[in-house]
Amino acid sequence: MLKDSDSEIYSAMQKELHRQKYSLELIPSENYVSTEVMEAMGSWLTNKYSEGYPGKRYYGGNEFIDIIETIAIERAKKLFKAEHANVQPYSGSPANQAIYAALVPIGEKVMGMDLAHGGHLTHGSPVNFSGKWYKMITYGVDKETELIDYDLMLKKAREEKPKMIIVGATAYPRKYDFRRIKEICDEVSAYAFADIAHIAGLCVTEIHENPVPYFDVVSTTTHKTLRGPRGAIIMCKTQYAQAIDKAVFPGLQGGPHDHTTAAIAVALKEASLPSFKEYTKQIVKNAQTLAQVLMDYGFRLVSGGTDNHLLLLDLQNKNITGKEAQVLLDSVSITTNMNTIPYDLRKPFNPSGLRLGTPALTSRGMKESEMKEIAGFIHKAIENRNDEEIKRKIKEEVETLCQNFMIY
Ligand code: DSN
C-alpha cells in the first residue's frame, strides 16, 4: 500500500483530498470526476505503449487498447456530432498546437482572442508557441459592452486575411456567436477553429450551441464542464482527419496515455446521460445566481453577468486586487483565481479581476440557495479582510457547508 511504501506522497495526497472536500472549489476550469472515471484513470492501462491508432500500432499487445480507443472515438463523435475525433492529445495546449501544425504553415497569420480579454495562451500570446511561431492578429471585447466585438473581428479579418480564426476563451462569461464567426471565416477563407474547452459540457447538452457540426476543427479539454480526466479531444471535418491525426502522432506526441483514453470514454458515457443535462443546466443557474447576489452586494461583473459557468469580478471598486482577494479567500477555504479583466491597468500577476465558476460546486449537488450563501461569504470576507475573528467564523461556516455536500 502507498500509505506504507511512500508516506511522504501519501500524506500530501491525503491533505489535498481534505482540501478538496472541505473547501469551496470555485475555479471554473476545475471539477470533481466520478469515482468510475478515477477507476479507469488509476489503472493498469498506464502500463501500455500504443503509438499509432486503432488497428495501426507500432507495438504488439494492443488488441484491448484498440477496443478502448475505438469506443472513446465513437462516443466523442456521437456526443459532439463530429465527423472525426482524435482522443490522444495529452491536454488542451498540445491539442491546439496539433491543430496549428496540421492546418497552418509556420509564419502565417492566425487570428485569436487577446489573452488580456479572456483568450487562451495558445490563441496567440507572445510568450506561447502560437505567438512565437505565427503572426498573430488579435480581437477582443468592446470596451463598453465587454462583449466580443464581431464587427472589429470582421474588419481585421478582411484587412489581414488570417489563415485561421480561433474562437474560445478562458474568461469570457457570455455565449459565442459561432454562426457569425463561421461567416467571417468563410468570407476571408480562413479555417474556423473553436476551442470549447470551458463550455464543452454546455455544448453537448445544447445549453450552448455546439459548433462541431459546422466548424472545420474544434478542440476541447475533457476535464472542465465535461467532467472527465485531464486530457483533450480534437474533432474535425473528414477532409482534415488525416492531417490532424498525423499532427498529433507522430507530429507532436509519442504513445497515447491509454488510462486517460479509457477515463475519457467513461466520462463521455456519463455526459450522454439525461442526468448530465440536468447537471449542466444547474451549472448555469448556479453561476447566474452567484452573479446576481454578488452584484446585489455591489460587485461589478465584467459584461454585467454570465451566460455560462463562470463570472469575472472587477474588484476595482472594492479596493482590493485580484491576488489579494485570491489569498484572502484561500484563507477562508474558498478557492478562486485572480484574472485580468479586459483593458486592465494592472499586470497579470496582480490583476484587477477574480474568476469564479460553478462546475465543481454543482457536481457536489449545490444549488441556488448555496450560491446565495457563498456570495455572502465572499462579500463578508472582502468587507472584513482585516478581522481575524470574522474570517475564522467564515471558514467554519464554509467547512460546515462542505460537510453537507460531501465528495468521495
Ligand atoms: N488553464 C485553463 C483555465 O484555467 O482556464 C485554460 O487552459
Whether 40 and 158 map to the same domain: the answer is yes
Q: Which of ligand 1's atoms lies nearest the C-alpha of 27?
A: 4
197 C-alpha to ligand 1 centroid (Å):
8
CA 116 to chain centre: 17
For residue 56, being part of any structural domain is answered with: yes
Any domain includes 277:
no
- For all residues of the chain together, what is the average pLDDT? 98
Beta bridge partners, 353, equal 314, 339
Mean pLDDT across 31-57: 98
Q: Are residues 294 and 367 located together in one domain of the fold? A: yes
Last residue of a domain, one of 271, 296, 318: 271
Same domain, 79 and 131: yes
Domain range for residue 78? 36-271
Q: Give the residue whose CA is nearest to atom 5 of ligand 1.
A: 170
Tell me: the pLDDT tens digits for 235-268?
999 999 999 999 999 999 999 999 999 999 999 9
Residue 157 shares a structural domain with residue 233: yes
Of 209, 244, 271, which residue sits at a domain end?
Answer: 271
Residue 220 CB–ligand 1 contact under 6 Å:
no
Ligand 1 atom 3: the closest Cα is on which residue? 29
Contacts for 148-157: CB closer than 8 Å, 24+ residues apart: 148/113, 148/172, 148/174, 148/176, 148/177, 150/177, 150/180, 150/181, 150/184, 153/111, 153/181, 153/184, 154/184, 154/187, 156/111, 157/111, 157/184, 157/185, 157/187, 157/188, 157/190
How many angstroms separate the alpha carbon of residue 101 from the centre of ligand 1? Answer: 21
278 falls within a domain: no
Confidence (pLDDT) at 180: 98
The tens digit of pLDDT for each residue in 279-338 reads 999 999 999 999 999 999 999 999 999 999 999 999 999 999 999 999 999 999 999 999
Let me know whether 256 and 316 are in one domain: no
Residue 361 pLDDT class (50, 70, 90 cuts): very high
The number of the ligand 1 atom at minimal distance from the alpha carbon of 170 is 5
Task: Give, for ligand 1, the residue of 91, 170, 223, 225 to mutate: max count of ligand atoms closer than 8 Å to Cβ.
Answer: 170
CATH code where residue 43 lies: 3.40.640.10
Do 252 and 288 lie in one domain? The reply is: no
Spacing, Cα 232 to ligand 1 middle (Å): 13
| Nearest to 73, CA basis, from 273, 275, 203, 244 | 244
Q: Is the CB of 174 under 6 A from ligand 1?
A: no
Tell me how far the alpha carbon of residue 393 lies from the centroid of ligand 1, in angstroms: 31
Region of residue 350 (left: phi > 0; alpha: psi -120 to 50; beta: else): beta
Q: Which atom of ligand 1 is nearest to the CA of 171?
A: 5
Domain contains 96:
yes
- One domain for residues 214 and 290: no
Integer Cα distance of 393 and 404 in angstroms: 17
The cell 470549447 sits on which residue?
196
Which atom belonging to ligand 1 lies closest to the Cα atom of 198? 5
List residues bridging with 336 in a β-sheet: none
- Judge if 201 and 132 occupy the same domain: yes
The rounded Å distance from CA 341 to ligand 1 centre is: 15
| Residue 25: predicted pLDDT | 98
* Ligand 1 atom at shortest distance from the alpha carbon of 337: 4
Q: Which amino acid is at 259?
A: H
Pocket lining: 130 vs ligand 1, CB cutoff 6 Å = no
Per-residue confidence (pLDDT) for residue 384, from 0 to 100: 98
Number of domains within the chain: 2
Distance 262 CA to ligand 1 centre (A): 23
Give, using CA atoms, the residue closest to atom 1 of ligand 1.
Answer: 29
Q: For residue 242, what pLDDT is reported? A: 98
Q: Are residues 322 and 355 in the same domain?
A: yes
Instruction: For 96-127, write each residue's pLDDT tens digit.
Output: 999 999 999 999 999 999 999 999 999 999 99
Q: Does the CB atom of residue 92 touch ligand 1 within 6 A?
A: yes
Look at residue 322 in the predicted model and tell me its pLDDT. 98
pLDDT tier, 30 (very low <50, low <70, confident <90, very high otherwise):
very high
Written as nine digits, the cell of 392 is 475564522
Q: Tell me: the pLDDT tens digits for 59-90?
A: 999 999 999 999 999 999 999 999 999 999 99
Residues involved in catalysis: 49, 51, 195, 221, 224, 230
- Regarding whether 330 and 228 lie in a shared domain, the answer is no
- pLDDT (tens digit per residue) in 33-44: 999 999 999 999
146 and 250 together in one domain:
yes
Residue 217 pairs in a beta bridge with 193, 236
Q: Beta-carbon neighbour count of residue 107 at 10 Å?
A: 8
Q: With respect to residue 8, please indicate whether it lies within any of the assigned structural domains.
A: no
Tell me, yes or no, whether 336 lies in a domain.
yes
Domain boundary among 241, 271, 301: 271
CATH code assigned at 337: 3.90.1150.10
Percent of the chain clearing pLDDT 70 (strictly above): 100
- What confidence category does residue 177 fall into, taking pLDDT thresholds of 50, 70 and 90? very high
Residue 256: inside a domain, yes or no? yes
The answer to whether position 118 is within a domain reads yes
Q: Say if residue 332 is in the same domain as residue 390.
A: yes
29 CB near ligand 1 (under 6 Å): yes
